[in-house]
Structure 1
Amino acid sequence: MSDKNIILKAENISKQYRLGVVGTGTISHDLNRWWHKVRGKEDPYLKLGEVNDRTKKADSDYVWAIKDINFEVERGEVLGIIGKNGAGKSTLLKILSKVTSPTTGVIKSRGRIASLLEVGTGFNPELTGRENIYLNGAILGMTKKEITSKLDEIIEFSGCERYIDTPTKRYSSGMTVRLGFAVAAFLEPEILVVDEVLAVGDAEFQKKAIGKMQSISKNEGRTVLFVSHNMAAVKSLCTKGIVLEHGKVVFSSDAESAVNYYLEKESFEKVIYKKEELDQLYSSDKIVINQLELCSDNFFSIENKTFVKINYDVLSDLSAFNFSLVLKDFNDIFILNSISDVENIKVGNYDALFEIPENFLNDLKYKLRLIFVNQSKILIDLDDVFSWSAVETEERKMNWFGKIGGVVRPELKWMINKLR
């Protein structure tokens, strides 16, 4: 790395796995690889393997979890890594953290790397919280004196002071991630790698953790690599972003542009699901959904109603049955949960219709979650089953002189009377 400001560089990073077995392959494959290496020839299995698409049936024993990934991170930058589940984010972070090695390519870094990839990463469950702080510090290459100087700050930030001398096997997952993050953040690594583990913590801790990551990047000049499905957190925390799709980098830019690109790609175009597709999304021995449709009177215009139509079969009599309709924006901000009346229903075929009123949504993208509930127990949960853009007409846009803020924009009743 010739540029002194670049602290981490990934060059043509790829990781190949063999499907259906424990380990990377068989003895015969390992011998074959060794024989090719001795003769100075290319690994024969690098030519094999399919793209990392979990929705398709594999025709090969090999798959590329990530393929030909290149990027650079400068000192003090916060890089957001985003993508769908299975896109290769965690595999990339494990390689960057040296938990596993790449099949091809090289990672170049300057300074210590601290990783928080899973709850309790690097913790010995038999040791107390205090002992694990010293253990993790030693792994990072810090002296006992350095760790002791930070000990009180770590314990205070974690909020686990009462249990700090208790074995961590008795900690809850939230307590474990609190302490793990505090250790990783306060022992001053040059590069901090954080996976989705912050989702385990409560809202108060998530706010503290994001604030700490902002502080160590802006004020202390350290580098953070951050993976999250919370797009609002990525926008507020990160300075740069890369989008992974099927194990490849498909977009790299500033954080806001990366999030917008990802959300555009994630926008579902499907407005009708047939039974064959729905069978892959859920299973229930009490209800079968025959068709699920999202529609509007006029291309999802804000000025028109939006409808959710469901045709389903009830296979056995159900008591205390109802639907729950959850509306979210694309940052997963919860907007509303509309719950139908609770009723007893008999075996048979049913149509259901939900209506989102006109002049309620804003000029934004929305996601819909549909839940079937029986006696307060969830039978079917279709999360993000639909997403769409509510469209503002050009004529109305001209009246507002620009975009209006807010996740919804309901038409309220105004009563204005002239008094004089």
Structure 2
Amino acid sequence: MRRWPMSSKADAPIAVKFDHVTKTYKLYENDRQRFLSVFSSRDKRKLITKVNASNDLSFEIKKGEAVAFLGHNGAGKSTALKMITGVTFPTKGTVTVNGAVSALLELTAGFDNQLTGRENIYLRGHALGLDNEQIATLEPKVIDFADLGVYIDQPVRTYSSGMKARLGFAFAVSSDPEILVVDEALSVGDKQFQQKCFARVREIMEDEDVTVIFVTHASAAAQEFCTRGIVLEKGAMQFDGPIQEAIDFYENHG
């Protein structure tokens, strides 16, 4: 396995650290068996198998680095990101995150469909631990970026999926993240809005104090945004090094 060499950011503080992290998922015969596994004794559970979505992962990402996670479907990229964002937790090992995380992943998750778009800005802000004053400062930035017009004061249940994604993206990029987690799926709304999204992500990435973790299947996108690449396969690290070398490894061992 190739490891990342000493770099100009070698002395920078650690933003994200995985220390022998394993995330194991239990796969059951069906949803009923999965439900029974919570309440029933072990002999009544029909467990098919266990899968290590992350398998003994260890790496450090320094503050200000831009790192791409490369890998095919099922490689463990999404699981790693979910542990970084606190959506899920490791079965073994330790995940350390130092800094405020903004995630461009499941953009429409966490909305209350009965509340308006404006009210959902406050809901999401409070969920992140922001107070009313901080959210009030953030609110006009989100509204301006989302560009939903009068719909910002309509219930989210009246929104199309694209409108929800616009609001979610606007919230994520209008804050000042210390760690930005970006999924490759930035195709939000029409072409003009997509360009606006990419421009804002690039603007955030240009801030040397922001740590960027970018997940993609596309080598060109990884090369454009990142200087370092981590290649995953079946939850295990296969390569960690400069982005072009990581891309070469990924494409030659795919």
Give the aligned partner of residue 322 of structure 1: none
Whether the 8 Å CA contact 2:166–2:188 is kept in 1: the answer is no
Whether the 8 Å CA contact 1:77–1:217 is kept in 2: the answer is no
2:14 to 3, 6, 10: 6
1:106 to 86, 94, 119: 94
- Which amino acid in the other structure matches residue 81 of structure 1? F
Tell me, yes or no, if structure 1 residue 175 matches structure 2 residue 183.
no
SS of the residue 1:164 aligns to: helix
CA gap 1:263/1:4 in 2 versus in 1, 3 angstroms: closer
CA gap 1:74/1:207 in 2 versus in 1, 3 angstroms: farther
Whether the 8 Å CA contact 1:86–1:246 is kept in 2: the answer is yes
Tell me, yes or no, if structure 1 residue 261 matches structure 2 residue 249.
yes
Higher relative contact order (CA 8 A, sep 6+): 2
Give the aligned partner of residue 387 of structure 1: none
2:212 to 224, 227, 243: 224
1:22 to 27, 34, 43: 34
CA deviation digits over 1:127-186, x for unaligned, max 9?
Answer: 111111111122222221122222222222222233111222222222222211111121
1:209 to 173, 186, 197: 197
- Which amino acid in the other structure matches residue 117 of structure 1? L
1:83 to 49, 54, 71: 71
CA gap 1:244/1:124 in 2 versus in 1, 3 angstroms: same
- Which amino acid in the other structure matches residue 248 of structure 2? N
Relative to the length of structure 2, the TM-score reads 0.83
Tell me, yes or no, if structure 1 residue 139 matches structure 2 residue 127.
yes
Report deviation, 1:23. Answer: 6.0
Cα distance in 2 for residues equivalent to 1:197 and 1:228: 8
CA gap 1:102/1:17 in 2 versus in 1, 3 angstroms: same
> Which runs of 5 or more residues in structure 1 are unaligned?
31-58, 267-420
Report deviation, 1:29. Answer: 4.8
Q: Percent identity?
A: 43
CA deviation digits over 1:102-143, x for unaligned, max 9?
Answer: 100111111222223223122222211111111112222222
Give the aligned partner of residue 409 of structure 1: none
Could you say which structure has the higher helix fraction?
A: 2
- List structure 1 runs of 4+ shifted beyond 6 angstroms: none
Give the aligned partner of residue 57 of structure 2: 69
Give the aligned partner of residue 121 of structure 1: 109
Correspondence list, 1:7-406, <5 A:
7-20=15-28, 21-22=33-34, 25=37, 27-29=40-42, 61-219=49-207, 221-266=209-254
Whether the 8 Å CA contact 1:192–1:224 is kept in 2: the answer is yes
CA gap 1:231/1:160 in 2 versus in 1, 3 angstroms: farther
Cα distance in 1 for residues equivalent to 2:221 and 2:195: 10
- Which amino acid in the other structure matches residue 56 of structure 2? D
CA deviation digits over 1:253-278, x for unaligned, max 9?
Answer: 22232223222223xxxxxxxxxxxx
CA deviation digits over 1:292-327, x for unaligned, max 9?
Answer: xxxxxxxxxxxxxxxxxxxxxxxxxxxxxxxxxxxx
Cα distance in 2 for residues equivalent to 1:94 and 1:206: 24
Cα distance in 2 for residues equivalent to 1:209 and 1:257: 28
Whether the 8 Å CA contact 1:119–1:173 is kept in 2: the answer is no
CA deviation digits over 1:35-76, x for unaligned, max 9?
Answer: xxxxxxxxxxxxxxxxxxxxxxxx962111110111211212
Whether the 8 Å CA contact 2:104–2:169 is kept in 1: the answer is yes
Whether the 8 Å CA contact 1:137–1:187 is kept in 2: the answer is no
CA gap 1:257/1:223 in 2 versus in 1, 3 angstroms: same
Cα distance in 1 for residues equivalent to 2:120 and 2:162: 16
Cα distance in 1 for residues equivalent to 2:35 and 2:13: 38
Cα distance in 1 for residues equivalent to 2:160 and 2:178: 29
Could you say which structure has the higher strand fraction?
A: 1
SS of the residue 1:85 aligns to: coil
Cα distance in 2 for residues equivalent to 1:102 and 1:24: 23
CA deviation digits over 1:337-383, x for unaligned, max 9?
Answer: xxxxxxxxxxxxxxxxxxxxxxxxxxxxxxxxxxxxxxxxxxxxxxx
CA deviation digits over 1:182-228, x for unaligned, max 9?
Answer: 11121223222222441344433333223222222322622222212
- Which amino acid in the other structure matches residue 17 of structure 2? K
Quick check: which has more Rg, 1 or 2?
1
> Which runs of 5 or more residues in structure 2 are unaligned?
1-10
CA gap 1:265/1:24 in 2 versus in 1, 3 angstroms: farther
- Which amino acid in the other structure matches residue 160 of structure 1? L
Cα distance in 2 for residues equivalent to 1:24 and 1:199: 39
Whether the 8 Å CA contact 1:6–1:73 is kept in 2: the answer is yes
- Which amino acid in the other structure matches residue 243 of structure 2? A
Cα distance in 1 for residues equivalent to 2:236 and 2:194: 29
Give the aligned partner of residue 3 of structure 2: none
Whether the 8 Å CA contact 2:14–2:61 is kept in 1: the answer is yes
